[in-house]
Every structure is written in structure tokens, then in C-alpha cells.
Structure 1
Amino acid sequence: MSNIRVIIQRDSAPEERVVATGTTAAALFEGERSVVAARVSGVLRDLAHPLAEGDEVSPVEIDSPDGLDILRHSTAHVMAQAVQELFPEAKLGIGPPIRDGFYYDFDVAEPFQPDDLARIEKRMQQIVKQGQRFARRPVSDDEARAELADEPYKLELIGLKGAAAEAAEGASAEVGAGELTIYDNLDPKSGERRWQDLCRGPHLPATRLIPAFRLMRSAAAYWRGSEKNPQLQRIYGTAWPSRDQLKAHLEFLAEAEKRDHRRLGTELDLFSIPEELGSGLAVFHPRGGIVRRVMEDYSRRRHEDEDYEFVNTPHLSKARLFETSGHLPNYAESMFPPIEFEGQDYYLKAMNCPMHNLVFRARGRSYRELPLRLFEFGTVYRYEKSGVVHGLTRARGFTQDDAHIYCTKEQMPQELDSLLTFVLGLLRDYGLNDFYLELSTRGEGDKFIGEPQEWEEATETLRQAAGKQGLELVMDPGGAAYYGPKISVQAKDAIGRSWQMSTIQVDFQQPKRFGLEYTAADGSRQQPVMIHRALFGSIERFFAVLLEHYAGAFPPWLAPVQAVGVPISDAHVPYLREFAAEAKAQRLRVEVDSSSDRMQKKIRNAQRSKVPFMVIAGDEDMANGAVSFRYRDGSQKNGIPRAEALREIADAVERRVQV
């Protein structure tokens, strides 16, 4: 028997090993129980893959990103097998891994019910215990069609390869590029096929290597993500390398559910999304309006300090404006359909930048005016598909805190540096402190406009500005907007979730398309650099992020009600109203609960409303000109002189601290 040489790549130095021809990746990593697949010469492979001369082989452990995807994709197959065993009429859609889990789509006569999910999960547990083997089998297109003749959605996927598969939601997990393959689930003893699926793989060696999983919920989903296609039933699940990790994830989800901004928005009477308005269109109630106003007012003050100038632009425009900016050719699918008026098409604006360009162009500009920083709380409208609309975090109508900075090329590095410092400082003022940066660059394809050297210059300047912040920088190849690269500030909330916050984009293209110019010091006409910047992203989304970050318990400066007076009896109501009036004179937001409820219920109501300070007064307090404080954590401080109590509330508001 002949031998071959392979190179094992680990974190340590590469190791060359001589093995027999036909040796599999499984044999190479025999005894390493955490290894579930291998990367062979850069390609993910099953452990059953035979190695060739000169292959570079890296182990894929189950708790690595690739390993987790393989675990979850394998669990999705087990779920699909269980569904078809329990519901033989079910037709298969797609079943890719997703962040923290997986899903699979099915065409069934009736939507799945909670009892159905319990039955499916029980059957999955039986399949896992059986230890069925996942076996990869290359097939031709005709062979695949013959074997899957009863699966109409799989037949449709067989014709999708390369870019078409990547573009179809989840389809790349099924077909992708290269040869077509079917995975068989085989009985571990007899080798008999129990189930099969069209799939690119790789998979775990056997079902018994699935340590812990849970089915989460079902929902409707359009085939391949298009509303023009049939509606299928999607089952979501999660899978983890250990029961402890599954338990921790479920506890995390429970905490996230408690913090869901849609739930808190209703419980705290902050906002609603009425059916009469439509999905993705929110109205803010008085208390939510207070929070929003405080957010905006503080942001305005900080922008004034940084020499921004405020502008205001309309909500719609003739189509020609968005043709000039390049948005209609490149962004039309995210814009609402046009409104025909007086023989012309008008569009609801999906972005503010074209209108800010008109402000710049309205008169001659001198280099002495630059950098010119234009700022607007501009409401925009975007056509988001119903399947992705999510409360305030993915809305169809929202207000951006949008700025566009026009500067010279020489000013650009310093402007980006100070801009990032300003952005991060303002986010910290709102209580977010854990950040990393993401740099999105130009990719392949014709969507990106402008010369490559312009992109290189813009990208490198952004990279240098990011480096000065001392934060982790993650690359996002191909993720740039069509007109220029961008830096995204990613912030982690109180339970560790990452949210995209501010974006900063360098744009050499729109100034060119709009013919923007300024008079340079030598009298020549020069084109400015345009920097796009949305600090919150949108007021609505940032509101939702803060609501979930604080679990509704806003710090006093943001809280819609900063203190509520709780009288021990009705006789103490006038005294607390006097206290509230003094507080309001200092622009503090203080209410008095004069309802007929008992004191303890009033305290519970204030706790449920997450009010920072409960101001309690009884006979002794009145006699001493004092009040008692009860804080959100249940602690209490008694006999505080009124003036001192007001100072404590005002100080907490002024310092923007949590209590």
C-alpha cells in the first residue's frame, strides 16, 4: 500500500505526517472527540473525506464557528427527518444553520401547533439515540431529480448553482457551487437508508454526536424569501455542544424576552404600532415622547457644541433627485413605489443625503466654510418586507439623526478622527460602553460606483481613523454602500448582544454626481469630500436598544417620570403636590399618585413603571419638612429634608447616573 504526505495545520506549527493512501480525516484525528469535521486545503469536509497527497488539513472542533454551523445544520436534517416521519405529506424546503440555531421550511396542509413541535422534538431525540450515520453521495442533476421527484422545492433548487444559490435565501446550504450531493441518513447496524436530503454539507459523522437541542417556535415564511412564492411553515430550533450551554442559551433568551422593547413599550405605555397605520409605523405615547425628546434635545446640544448647523428637508422629492444621487438605480427595491403627481413621479425619501447636497449647492462655497457640518433629524421611509419588520428596530418609517460633513481632502483624516471620538463619546453618555468597529469595503460586482483608487484612499483613511480609537476592528469585505466604504460602531448591551449603532461613510461619488464645488485658497474650483454619518442610526431603533439595554429602567435623566409621590394617606397628597411643584420648577419630572389605591399598591405600581425615585410622605415627614425615598432596588432612606431630596434627584439627572 502506498503512502501520502499531509500537513496538519493547528494553532501551533504545521506538522507533516505520512499516512496510508485512502486515510480519512477521521483517522487523522482519531481519539479527538471534539473534532467533528476538517478543513482540507481550505474546504470544509466531512470526517469521512479521504485525503490526498499534499493536503493541508485543519481539525474543526464542535465549539468553533464552523463546528457550530455543522452541528446545527445536522440537527436541522434530523428535524426534517422527524417531520416527514410524523407528517408524511410534508414537502421539504430548505434548512440552513443560522446564528445560535437553525430552521427548516416545510409545505404542510396546516400550520404546526405547539403539540406538534413537542412530538417532533421527541422523535428527534429517538433519531439521535439511534446514531444514524450521515453519508455523503455525489449525484448528477438527473439522478437528483429522479431521487427527489416527489420534492418540488428540491427540484427547483437543483437548477440553482453559484451566484443564484447564494442569492436564494438559505439555498447555498443545499446546493452552492461545485458538484451536487445527497446526504443519506443510514441505520448504524444494517446500513439501510432511513432518510435523504439534497445538501452541500458537511455534516457530523452521526446523529449521536448531537449533544443538546431544543425546538423553539414555528412561523410562516415565503419560499426563498419572496412574497411572490408559496408560504411555507418554518420551524426554528437551537443546538449546542453541551446541555449546560443549551441551558445558558435558554436562560439568555428568557432574559432577552423580558427586555423585548415591544413588550416593554406596551407595559410602560411608551409607544404602539396600530394596525390602522400599518406594520413598521409607530406612534409614541406621551411617556415615550418624553424619552424621545430628551434624547433628541441632548443630542442637539452636543451637536451645537461640535459646530454642526441644523437644516430641515421635505419628506418627498421628484424622482430626478434620486436618479442623480444613484439611489434609484441602486436602492429602488428599498424605496416605496412612486406617487404620480402633475405628470411626474415623486418618491418618499429613503435617505437625507441628496437633499443635503442641494443645501450645499444652493450658493457658492469657500474653503473658509469647510468643514461644513449639516445636521437633521430627518424622517425617512423604506420598504421593508413584512418578514423582516420588527418593532422599532426594523421599521418602515423612522427618523435618522443624520449628518453630512463636507470637507477638503486634507481635512478628511482629522475630521474622521474627531468624528469617531464624538460618536463614541455621545454613545457613552447614553450608557453604552462596550464597542468594536467594523470596516465595510468595496466588493466585486457592478453595484459599486467610482474609481478603485478613490475607494482605496477612502478605505485607508477610515482604517487609520479607526486605529486611533484603540478598539477591535473587524473587516466586512464587500459590505460597503454603493458609493463608498464605511465604519460601523458595534455596541454591546447589558446582556452582551451586539447592535450596529453609528455609521460613518466616506463618499467621493455624490459630490461628483451633484457637481458640488468650493473655491479653494488659490481661486480654483475643487470638489469636496462628503462624509455621511448617522449617530443613532435612527431615533426609533436607538430608543429600542436603550429600552432593552436598561430593561425599561431608564436612568433618571432619560426616565419619563423621574419621581412619583406616594402618600401614606389622602391627607398627605397636598404636601407631596407642593414637593412636585418645587421639582417641576427645576424642570424635574415628578408626579403624585393620588389614586384611591392603598399605599403598598401605589409602590408596586411605581415599581412596575420602573420609576427611579419613590417619594413617600406621612405625618412625621410633614412635621419635619422631609420626605422618605424608596429606590428601585427596594432600599429606602427616611427623613430627608425636602431641599436635600430635590438636590439628590437633580444631581442624579445632571450626572446621568443610574440609581
Structure 2
Amino acid sequence: MSLDHRVLGRELELFATTPVVGAGLPLWLPDGAIIRTELEKLAAEEAAGSGCRGVYTPVLAKKELYERSGHWSKFSEDMFPEMKIGGESFLLRPANCPHHAQIFAARGRSYRELPFRVRERGSMFRSELSGVLGGLSRVRQINLDDAHVFCSPAQVQAEVMVALDAIERCYSILGISDREYRLSIRGAEGQYLRSDNQWADAEDQLRRALAERSITYVEAKGEAAFYGPKIDVQVLDAHGREETLSTVLLDFNQPERFELEYTVEDGSKARPIMIHRGLLGSMERMTALLIERFEGRAPPWLAPNQVSVLPICDEHVAAAEELRCRLADRGVRVVVASGGSLGRRIREARTHRDPSIAVIGDSEMRDAAVNVLLPAWDQKSGVDAGVFVDQVVSDISSRSLTPSGY
């Protein structure tokens, strides 16, 4: 069995690419869109739980925005060409943070409003060369779970701990246990924004946050961005390649460039620190990683189709439809597959990687029961229909990694 997400994505009809749309611009098919929607829902719940408020911002802006943010001077080769509209130049955004900086700057801010937290599932664009594009792992439009926190220097450690807690919860839900935390700090040489004392304090706050949460990490000296230190979470994909999924990054640069400020208690002005926080990273990269890790067999809450109900013959279709309605009424994604041999339909449900297969025949109709097949466990058992419905709903609502046995 291939572990390549491109092969599995094609077999399971999760996403597709076409020459007329272009390389690096995948089309999310209905089943793949379900997986992405569920991941976005998880990210949104975690963001809301940690005090982030949702925003929407445009996918393009005037060139001036990216000149001020520094993206044009640093990353213009990786950006799409500027578009001339009415005598003005516009660009597809390479990052969401300049827009969020403008949300903070929309009016005067007080220290009482800090930390000021916003989040967006925002699209951004990279002009990647065709030769490096592949499936969902390297794309030209990136849909990022992106949050930004504007806070005082004294609030940095607490905000980083909030982010670390959310990352740990998400990884536990997704079953990603083999992860490495990397703290990227300044090197001996290089030009870094702000003073040595400010850098030392920021790095110490990141260290203290990691220590407070008893997280083992490695220090990467010289790997910090010029505008601030960061924590990255590294995960190996199914081929042993290292991927950066989650990031907590301190940014001194954009508050300086956009002259962001807030009013302190004594009436003076101060510059906030901007924290970039990505819990799941891009939807594309996370989905590719999970497809390969689960070998296409998604957990019940992520599975495009969560239950297949198979009536043995036509006489059992009405009972199968009744079970489908009971499941659908409680939010379960379920289909009834009838017609043709039972063996063929079971094979199709297995090939589709459905977590639960419920077979209904004469005895099941008589006893108000179902014969449940759990392909992940290669388990088969009879169970009361009501118990089955309750257990399926429980597995989904708790985001269980595997369907429960009976």
C-alpha cells in the first residue's frame, strides 16, 4: 500500500489537480473538503477557547502595505507579480500578519485591551516554481490557521503558554506524539531588530514558557528571524522528512514598521509585541501529513463517511433507511449502500476506509440490532441499534482516534 498522500488522495477522491487550473493549486473534492472543514473547526474552537476573535481580511492589498511590512524587500521573489489597477499596484498577500496589524491599528488601543488576539483561516500565496510543487504538501495557495496576539512585553510568557497548551491539545487529538520542539534564538552575528536586552528577555520568556509546561526542546542558535525568536514544532512525515507544523513567533518588526502603539496606564505610549501563532499550520500540509499517517483511514470524526449501512437484501432496505435517519439526525455522515452482492458492498466500504460498517438482515430487523464491522480492528459483532448509534456519536463528539469496540 502506498503511503504517498498524492496516491491515496487520488484513490479516495480527496483532491485533484488539473492542467487548466495549474500546478500547486489543488481542487478540494467533496470528501477532502470534509476533512479540511473538520480541521478548520478544531482550529477555530481552540482559538476561541484561548480568547482569539475571528476576523476576515482581503487576500490582496496595495503594494505599499508589503513595502512597509518588509515582505516586498525580503520575499518579493517568492510573491506573485504586482497587478496594476487604476494606476495603483496591488499584490496577492504572502502572509496574513500585515492585515492583522492593520486591524490592531484601526483605532487607538489601551493597555486594558491587551492581550489583543485575532485569528483567521486566511489564504496566502507563494510563487513556487513548478518543479517543487507536489500534491498538498507544496502549493501556491496556502490556507493557514493563523492567529496574532498583540501584547505587552510582560504578557509574552503567559501568551506563549496559552499557545503551547493549545498545540498540545491539538496534537493529542490528532494522535501526533512524535514531535520535537525547537527554540530558534539569535546567533553571534547578524542584524537583529531591537536591543540586546529586549532579545534576551524575549528568549528567556520563551524558555520559561517551555519549562513551565515541562516541554523538552532543542535550541537552534542563529535560526531566529531578524525580527524575533520563535518556537517551532517539527514532525516527521511518513517518508521520514521533517515538517514544521506549528509555530509561536515573537515579532518586533511589524509593530515598529507600522508604528503600532497602545496607551499605558500613565498616559504614555508603548510599542506592543506581536506574537504569530499557528496551531495546525496550513490545511494543505496538515491534511497531507494525516492522510499518510492514517494511511487514508481517518479517525471517525474526520472520516468523510462515518458509517455505511448495508441491507443484506431488498427486504431490509427500510430498516437500513431507518437507521440512517437516526444517525443523520444526530449529525453523523452516513450512507445506505444497497443493490449487488453484500460482499462487494463490504469491500467497497473497506476500500473507502469507512470507520464503521453496519449490516442489517433478518435477525437484526427482528432484534432491533445491527451487525457491526470495524475494518480498522478487523472486528465483527452484533449490537443493539440504539447502543450502536450512541457509541458512534460519542466517538465523533469526543474526536476519538479509533471507533470503539462492542
TM-score (norm 2): 0.94
1:355 corresponds to: 99
Does residue 269 (structure 1) correspond to residue 13 (structure 2)? The answer is yes
1:464 corresponds to: 208
- 3-state SS of paired residue (2:176): coil
C-alpha distance in structure 2 between counterparts of 1:444 and 1:354, whole Å: 29
1:22 corresponds to: none
1:646 corresponds to: 389
Does residue 327 (structure 1) correspond to residue 107 (structure 2)? The answer is no
Does residue 315 (structure 1) correspond to residue 59 (structure 2)? The answer is yes
What whole-Å deviation, never above 9, does each CA across 1:331-371 have from its counterpart, x for those lacking one? 11211111111122211001000000000000111111111
- 3-state SS of paired residue (1:503): strand
* 1:575 alignment partner, one of 319, 334, 359: 319
Q: CA deviation at 1:381?
A: 0.4
1:434 corresponds to: 178
* 2:343 alignment partner, one of 559, 579, 600: 600
Q: How does 1:381-530 map to 2 (within 5 A)?
A: 381-443=125-187, 448-492=192-236, 498-530=242-274
Q: CA deviation at 1:469?
A: 3.1
Q: CA deviation at 1:648?
A: 1.6
Does residue 626 (structure 1) correspond to residue 365 (structure 2)? The answer is no
C-alpha distance in structure 2 between counterparts of 1:433 and 1:338, whole Å: 42
C-alpha distance in structure 2 between counterparts of 1:483 and 1:280, whole Å: 29
Q: How does 1:25-104 map to 2 (within 5 A)?
A: none
Q: What amino acid maps onto 2:132 in structure 1?
A: V
Q: CA deviation at 1:433?
A: 2.0
2:82 corresponds to: 338
Q: What amino acid maps onto 2:286 in structure 1?
A: F
Q: What amino acid maps onto 2:303 in structure 1?
A: A
1:170 corresponds to: none
Q: What amino acid maps onto 1:506 in structure 2?
A: L
1:137 corresponds to: none
C-alpha distance in structure 2 between counterparts of 1:606 and 1:309, whole Å: 40
- 3-state SS of paired residue (1:559): coil
Q: What amino acid maps onto 2:388 in structure 1?
A: A
Tell which has more relative contact order, 1 or 2 (C-alpha 8 A, sep 6+): 2
C-alpha distance in structure 2 between counterparts of 1:316 and 1:482, whole Å: 25
TM-score (norm 1): 0.59
Q: What amino acid maps onto 1:579 in structure 2?
A: L
C-alpha distance in structure 2 between counterparts of 1:607 and 1:498, whole Å: 31
1:534 corresponds to: 278
Q: Is the 8 A contact 1:271 1:284 kept in 2?
A: yes
Q: CA deviation at 1:584?
A: 0.5
Q: CA deviation at 1:302?
A: 2.2
Q: Is the 8 A contact 1:435 1:471 kept in 2?
A: no
C-alpha distance in structure 2 between counterparts of 1:380 and 1:637, whole Å: 48
Q: How does 1:279-290 map to 2 (within 5 A)?
A: 279-290=23-34
C-alpha distance in structure 2 between counterparts of 1:470 and 1:259, whole Å: 33
Q: CA deviation at 1:602?
A: 0.5
What whole-Å deviation, never above 9, does each CA across 1:1-54 have from its counterpart, x for those lacking one? xxxxxxxxxxxxxxxxxxxxxxxxxxxxxxxxxxxxxxxxxxxxxxxxxxxxxx
State the structure with more CA Rg. Answer: 1
* Aligned residue pairs, count: 401
1:513 to 1:411, Cα distance in 2 relative to 1, 3 A: same
Q: CA deviation at 1:655?
A: 2.4
Q: CA deviation at 1:468?
A: 2.8
C-alpha distance in structure 1 between counterparts of 2:277 and 2:384, whole Å: 47
Q: CA deviation at 1:472?
A: 3.0
* 1:548 alignment partner, one of 286, 292, 305: 292
What whole-Å deviation, never above 9, does each CA across 1:498-548 have from its counterpart, x for those lacking one? 432101111112111111111111111111111011111101111111111
1:129 corresponds to: none
- 3-state SS of paired residue (2:44): helix
C-alpha distance in structure 2 between counterparts of 1:569 and 1:588, whole Å: 24
1:561 corresponds to: 305
1:495 to 1:389, Cα distance in 2 relative to 1, 3 A: closer
1:134 corresponds to: none
- 3-state SS of paired residue (1:455): helix
Q: CA deviation at 1:575?
A: 1.4
Q: Is the 8 A contact 1:403 1:533 kept in 2?
A: yes
Q: Is the 8 A contact 1:436 1:471 kept in 2?
A: no
C-alpha distance in structure 1 between counterparts of 2:135 and 2:200, whole Å: 38
- 3-state SS of paired residue (1:259): coil
What is the CA RMSD across the aligned residues, in angstroms? 1.8
Q: Provide structure 2 residue ranges, at least 5 long, that are not aligned to the other structure.
A: none
C-alpha distance in structure 2 between counterparts of 1:380 and 1:452, whole Å: 33
1:304 corresponds to: 48
C-alpha distance in structure 2 between counterparts of 1:648 and 1:495, whole Å: 34
Q: CA deviation at 1:454?
A: 3.2
Q: Is the 8 A contact 2:43 2:280 kept in 1?
A: no
Q: What amino acid maps onto 1:456 in structure 2?
A: A
C-alpha distance in structure 2 between counterparts of 1:262 and 1:497, whole Å: 16
Q: CA deviation at 1:492?
A: 4.5
1:63 corresponds to: none
Q: Identity over aligned residues, as a percent?
A: 37
C-alpha distance in structure 2 between counterparts of 1:537 and 1:302, whole Å: 13
Does residue 375 (structure 1) correspond to residue 119 (structure 2)? The answer is yes
- 3-state SS of paired residue (1:399): strand
Q: How does 1:96-175 map to 2 (within 5 A)?
A: none
Q: Is the 8 A contact 1:495 1:549 kept in 2?
A: no
Q: CA deviation at 1:449?
A: 4.0
Deviates more, 1:649-658 or 1:622-631: 649-658
- 3-state SS of paired residue (2:131): coil
1:656 corresponds to: 399
